[in-house]
Structure formats: C-alpha cells, structure tokens
Amino acid sequence: MRPLTAPVRDAHGSRYTASVHGQERDDGSWEGWLEFTGIDGGLVLRTDRETTQRTVDDLAYWASGLEPAYLEGAFNRAQAHTQRREDVADRKRRRAS
C-alpha cells in the first residue's frame, strides 16, 4: 500500500525496507500491517495487525505518522512473528515424520 522511507537493520546488519499494507474487513473498516523486505535477499517479514482504521484514508493517515522508533519495534515484532511461525512448522514436520 505505502512504502516507508527509513530502512531498518537486523542484528547482522542486513537492511530491510518497510511498507504498510492494508485490507478491508467484513465490517468495512481497514486493518493495517507492516512488511519488511530484505534489500539483499528478498526475505519478507510481516507483523500481525498493527492497526484498525475506519477508512482506507484513515489507514494512510496512520501510516504517514509512523516514526523510526515505531518501525524498529514493528520490525522486532515481525521477526518474532516469523520465528513463531517457523517453530510451529518445525513441530508439525517432526510430528509427521
């Protein structure tokens, strides 16, 4: 939906670009989340829902106010979210074998 300008770095120094994405919900409101795409490797990390807004314009307004400190926190949440998903997938594979 909306790219953000400030790249973030992980603990290994890899850089990621951040972008805001949104989807309309059944009730007509909009949920928004952040995606971080690796500049070098293309890995995409995604947060859970970060906000719910009444309209897509409200979502865009919310995104316009995101500061670097918020992006750092969201990046940490995206990394944790990805790790949890990988852990669940690993457990399912072990049970299946």
pLDDT, tens digit, 9 for 90 and up, residues 37-93 = 999 877 899 999 999 999 999 999 999 999 999 999 999 999 998 765 554 455 556
64 versus 6: the higher-pLDDT residue is 64
Count of Cβ atoms closer than 10 Å to residue 33 Cβ: 20
The Cα 81–Cα 91 span in angstroms is: 16
Quote the pLDDT of residue 94: 62
Residue 36 makes CB contacts below 8 A (sequence gap 6+) with 8, 16, 17, 18, 44, 45, 46, 74, 75, 78
Quote the pLDDT of residue 40: 83
pLDDT range class, residue 3, cuts 50, 70, 90: low
> What is the reported pTM?
0.80
